[in-house]
Copies of this chain bind each other. A is one copy, B any other.
Amino acid sequence: MSSYSVFRSKIPVRPDDIDMNRHVHSSRYADYVHAARFDQMERCYGMSMEEFAELGMGWVVRTSHVEHRDALRMGDVAEVETHIAEIRKYGVKVEFTIFRESDGKTAARGWFDYILVNALSGKPVTIPDEIVVKYSI
């Protein structure tokens, strides 16, 4: 079990997220997690994606794993809870759960491996110590 902090972001469902089954389209859950990470990087970890970009670095997805439970629908708000599960040399593993705000039911859960890369070369970058410190809360 991770000992790192858990943070939550609210992502409202938009009409363009809804698919032919009248559910949030399956690939959009990953987008909700990325949106939550952007929010939490700035608000919770004190270093926004823009600040990484200014240092010539960026985060990319290496692996995504999403388990779908109870589909979100139009009118729902996704509550996306994430925490860092592991800090590695070149990246972090982030675990997430997406809840439906109205009833607290789990809509999806899973994890993402994000890799820190040089924005120009695309090559993996060793996570700087000061970022390891920021992410170790």
Contact = CB atoms under 8 A, between A and B. Distances in A.
A65 B27 CA distance: 11
Given A14-B35, A16-B25, A68 B61 contact: yes
In this complex, the interface size class of chain A, counting residues with CB under 8 Å from chain B, is: 35 or more
A64 B65 contact: yes
Complex copy number for this chain: 4
Interface of A: 11-12, 14-16, 18-23, 25-28, 30-32, 34-35, 38, 42, 48-50, 58, 60-68, 71, 74-75, 119, 122
10 contacts: A11-B12, A14-B35, A15-B49, A16-B19, A16-B28, A18-B19, A21-B58, A23-B60, A26-B34, A26-B64
